[in-house]
Structure 1
Amino acid sequence: MLASTQWLSWALLSAGFAAATAVLAKIGIQGVDSDMATLVRTVVIVVLLALFVKATGKWSNPVDLPPRTLLFLALSAVATGASWVCYFRALQLGPASLVAPVDKLSVVLVVILSVGFLGERPSLRDWCGLAMIAGGVLLLALPRKGS
């Protein structure tokens, strides 16, 4: 597979795992505080990822990374943690079939942020697709009559 299209395979795998995450998490948080569930999930991720990095020979001392890299990775971790806490709370309070699609509004927000901070320039076609995603999220999130 060409390197220019490898991202698509990884992105599709990510989407599949994210879908499994929502369903498995919804089952797993029954009768458990969502924050505690997030902590357990995070510990499992840290252990598995550390084993994976070590087993693949990719381990290096994080202290040797450039300060700017460490700063932005730390900020990304804070955003990830906040996202997980909010996501698990939403899953505990609402149906996974609505929480997960609304969570995917992040797709639209990523593009907006990438335009502002990374200088990326989506095409008109891209913006149309993003508008459809946003419209779908609104359609799912708006209260239904009689609900």
Structure 2
Amino acid sequence: MWIVFALLAAVSAAIVVTLSKIGVKNVDSSVAFAIQSVLILLVSWGVVIGQGNLPDVMRIERRVWIYLIIAGIVTCLSSLFSFRALKLGNASQVSPITNVSLLFAVVLAIVFLKEKLNWQVVIGAVLMAVGAVVIAIAKD
């Protein structure tokens, strides 16, 4: 079932890139991000409340809070960088480069999460990275 959600996330991300590129055309990239962030905040907490998970917030361990807060800060930075890149570049070139995060995620998962590396992951990550670079350097 995870693959269905991963594919839905990928399709959603592609739609977000497209709509964000249109949105930053005549608006500062940080303003566009701030507008989306408010909606993300409302929807995410609405889902937590709607699912009845609000009491779970009080049971989160301090160490987990720290990881989630740091991840939230990095998420904000990532989005700010992405919005700025979209403001300055073509969505068809920006998106593949931002998705080189796959390569970084594989490395970080191996180093910090002790996940196993196999030849399929290596070949797939290299192909995606090469593909992103080829798309990014394509002429208009």
Percent of aligned pairs with the same amino acid: 31
Displacement of 1:142 in angstroms is 3.0
Structure 2 gaps, min length 5: none
Q: Structure 1-normalised TM-score?
A: 0.90
Taking the aligned partners of 1:12 and 1:114, their CA distance within structure 2 comes to 20
Residue in structure 1 matched with residue 81 of structure 2 by the alignment: 86
Letter in 2 for 1:58: N
- Per-residue CA deviations over 1:90-120 (Å, capped at 9, x if unaligned) read 0000010111111100011100100010000
Q: CA 1:8–1:143 in 2, change beyond 3 Å: closer, same or farther?
A: closer
- Per-residue CA deviations over 1:10-67 (Å, capped at 9, x if unaligned) read 1001001000000010111121110011111001100011111111112126343101
Number of positions where the alignment pairs a residue of Structure 1 with one of Structure 2 = 140
Q: CA 1:38–1:125 in 2, change beyond 3 Å: closer, same or farther?
A: same
Taking the aligned partners of 1:65 and 1:74, their CA distance within structure 2 comes to 12
Superposed, 1:28-67 pairs within 5 Å as 28-60=23-55, 62-67=57-62
Residue in structure 2 matched with residue 138 of structure 1 by the alignment: 133
1:16 paired with 2:6, answer no
Structure 1 gaps, min length 5: 1-5
Q: Structure 2-normalised TM-score?
A: 0.94
**Bigger shift: residues 81-90 or 116-125:** 116-125
RMSD: 1.4
